[in-house]
Structures are given as C-alpha cells and as structure tokens.
Amino acid sequence: MVFEVFRQERKGQAFQHAGSLAAPDERFAEEYAREFYGRRGESQAVWVVPREAIHEIDDFADELERNYHRVDGYSLKEKLRAARERAGTSAS
Amino acid sequence: MSGRAQALLELADDELVLGWRDSEWTGIAPSLEEDVAFSSIAQNEIGHARALYELAARELGTTADELAFDRPPDDYRCSRFVELRLVPEWDQTIVRHYLYEVADGVRIEELRRSGDSEIAGLAAKIDREEVYHRIHAEMWIDRLRGSREAERADAAAERLYPLALGLLDEALRPVFVERVAAKTGWDFSGEATAPRGEHDDGWEPLWQEMTEVRRSEPGAKW
C-alpha cells in the first residue's frame, strides 16, 4: 500500500505534503512515517493517509476563457510597467 | 572494577554489538522504508551504548571510545545472543530483535528503579526511545507469525530464545518468559543458556572489524 504523508512543522501551521511511502499496513506506515518525517525534530505532527483515501480532481471547466477568474489573468506587472513608463520613473 | 561499572559495561557491550549487527542490514533490508527504520534502530542502540560507556568511563577514569574500542576481545561482556551474524536471514533477525527488545525492556525497567540517580535517569531516557523499538519489533513479529512463514519464526525462536535468556540476571528471567509467552506462546526456558562473557567463533572477526579503523592509528584524535 502507498501512504501519503503530510507534515506540520510548527503547532498551528497548515499540514503540507511531505512525500509518500510504501508499507504493508497502517501500523507499518505510522512507524515508517515517524522515521522518515519525524525523528530529526522536523515535525510537530504528521498525517499518514492511505493514497486510496484521497480524492483527486483534475478536470476544471473554463470554456469561455474568463481569464479574470484566474490568478494569472490580471497581470499587475505589465500594468505597473506601463504606468511607470508614463510617469517617467524606472522599474526599480 | 565495581559491580556498577561491570553492570554498565555488560549493558553497553550488548547494545554496541547488537547495534553493529543490526547495522549490517543497512542497504539490504527488505524494503527502502524498512532499511531506514532498521538502520535508525541500530543507530539508537549504538547511541545507548555510548551513553552507558560514558557513565562507566567517568567511574573508571577513561573515555567511552576507549571502552568501546580499545579493550581486548576477551574483556567484552556482551552476550552471545547479540554476537550472532544473522544476515541474510530476515526472519531470524526479527525474532532476535523482538526477543532482545522484550529482555531489554525488562532490564531497563529494573534500572529505572535503581537507587543510583544517574543510572535511573539514563534508563528512563533510553526507555523513551525503546518504546518505538518495541512497537517496531511487535508489529514485525505479528506479521511474521501471521504469515506463511510462521514456522520459520518458530524455528528461529527455538534457536535464539535460550541465548536471549542469557541477557538477563536469573532474577529477571521469569518476567521475560511470561511476556514472550503471553504474546507468542513461545517458551524454551528449559534449555541451557549461554553464560555472559563466553564468546563463539564469530566474535573475534567481529571485534577485528569493529575496531579496525580505531586500531589503524592508535592514539589519534578523531
């Protein structure tokens, strides 16, 4: 079985994906996660999750190209450069 | 040498030699994950040996390194149980690991009750790591005994159990016998065990290997 491990670096912080490991069952997975992601004091806590328990979604509809929905849709950098040129100040 | 120093050396020698033997699995354990886990356990055991040698060294006016590597092979007090080279027999390695952790648990519990606060304190510290060794040993022993290879585990236990008893003073053996029987049904306590300090043929080559680098430059500061 493959398990995904999420690591919390400090109390209160979000858990972030740390990596995955192979183990025959949950007991082994927990022990291995402790060794791989915890023994150097690098984690406050870890989540050990069987990969099958994770629902992955990778289809997202955006048929009408409404790029203002997207984080890269509105380029502040371009507009800032143009504004600076108009004002006659340099980029940095 | 005081009884205290003698007892510390017995324990330290067991931990050093077992750590050494377990470390022979580094790079060749049955899975990458297990390789890291088992190597880490081996390293912990050597760490425990170091702490125990340091305690003995303070009393004996020497250093942990000198106690670990500069004694002649006949002076080592480790049990034959830890000296056995078990690579590439993973089932036997797991059975030894399990029996060792049970015996070591019994021994450490006793030391935690010691009137000597240094020894009791160190035993408590060591035990906090040993908790995870026991979890590891027990999950493996359950897996082995629940598999098609259960008979191999039984055969390994029959061979190793009497030697494991040699780790403990006679007074502590009944606790070991009871704990192992409760989990596995194994009880080979009727068999003769090996007295501590008696080594077999594998010991001399192991000592040669363990001390090789240290002996290559006597007196060097590493």
B87 touches chain A (CB under 8 A): no
Best of A27, A30, A37 to mutate (most B CBs within 10 Å, chain B): A27
pLDDT on residue B160: 97
- H or E segment at A19? strand A16-22
Average pLDDT over residues B105-129: 96
Contact B124, B112 (CB under 8 A): yes
A40 touches chain B (CB under 8 A): no
Asked whether the predicted pLDDT for residue A92 surpasses 70, the reply is: no
pLDDT over 70 for what percent of chain B?
100
Average pLDDT over residues B169-193: 95
B32 touches chain A (CB under 8 A): yes
Instruction: Tell me the two tokens of residue B7.
Output: 């007892």
Q: What distance in Å separates residue A31's CA from the closest CA in chain B? A: 7
Domains by residue range for chain B, with CATH: 3-216 (1.20.1260.10)
Asked whether the predicted pLDDT for residue B85 surpasses 70, the reply is: yes
Instruction: Tell me the two tokens of residue B131.
Output: 């908790």
- Condensed to tens digits (0 to 9), the pLDDT of residues A73-85 reads 667 788 889 899 9
Asked whether the predicted pLDDT for residue A91 surpasses 70, the reply is: no
CATH topology for the A2-53 domain: Ubiquitin-like (UB roll) (3.10.20)
Q: How confident is the model at residue B200 (pLDDT cuts 50, 70, 90)?
A: confident
pLDDT on residue A27: 96
d(CA A7, CA B7): 41
Residue at token pair 């017995």: B10
pTM: 0.89
d(CA B215, CA B219): 9
Best of A39, A40, A48 to mutate (most B CBs within 10 Å, chain B): A39
pLDDT on residue B86: 97
Chain-chain contact of B36 with A27 (C-beta, under 8 angstroms): no
Average pLDDT over residues A59-66: 78
pLDDT on residue B125: 96
pLDDT on residue A73: 65
pLDDT on residue A48: 98
B143 touches chain A (CB under 8 A): yes
Of A24, A31, A36, the CB nearest to B135: A31
Asked whether the predicted pLDDT for residue B115 surpasses 80, the reply is: yes
- Condensed to tens digits (0 to 9), the pLDDT of residues B16-71 reads 999 999 999 999 999 999 999 999 999 999 999 999 999 999 999 999 999 999 99
pLDDT on residue B30: 95
Chain-chain contact of A32 with B36 (C-beta, under 8 angstroms): yes
- pLDDT top residue among A64 and B7: B7
d(CA B100, CA A63): 65
Asked whether the predicted pLDDT for residue B81 surpasses 70, the reply is: yes
d(CA B189, CA B174): 9
d(CA B78, CA B56): 15
Q: How confident is the model at residue A64 (pLDDT cuts 50, 70, 90)?
A: confident
Closest listed residue to residue A26, CA positions, set A45, A4, A41, A8: A4
Output DSSP code: residue B221. Answer: -
Q: How confident is the model at residue B221 (pLDDT cuts 50, 70, 90)?
A: confident
Sign for the CA dihedral angle at B74, B3, B196, B39 comes to negative
d(CA B222, CA B70): 14
Query: What residues in B contact A1, CB-CB < 8 Å?
Result: none
Task: Provide the mean pLDDT of chain B.
Answer: 96
Chain-chain contact of A32 with B143 (C-beta, under 8 angstroms): no
- Condensed to tens digits (0 to 9), the pLDDT of residues A22-43 reads 999 999 999 999 999 998 899 9
Q: What distance in Å separates residue B31's CA from the closest CA in chain A? A: 9
Output DSSP code: residue A50. Answer: E
d(CA B138, CA B99): 10
Instruction: Tell me the two tokens of residue B206.
Output: 């192991």
pLDDT on residue A62: 74
Chain-chain contact of B33 with A23 (C-beta, under 8 angstroms): yes
B132 touches chain A (CB under 8 A): yes
Closest listed residue to residue B69, CA positions, set B146, B16, B18: B16
Chain-chain contact of B33 with A39 (C-beta, under 8 angstroms): no
B146 touches chain A (CB under 8 A): no
Best of B25, B31, B32, B33 to mutate (most A CBs within 10 Å, chain A): B33
State which residue of chain B sits closest to A40, comparing Cα positions: B40
CA A27 to chain centre: 26
Chain-chain contact of A31 with B40 (C-beta, under 8 angstroms): no
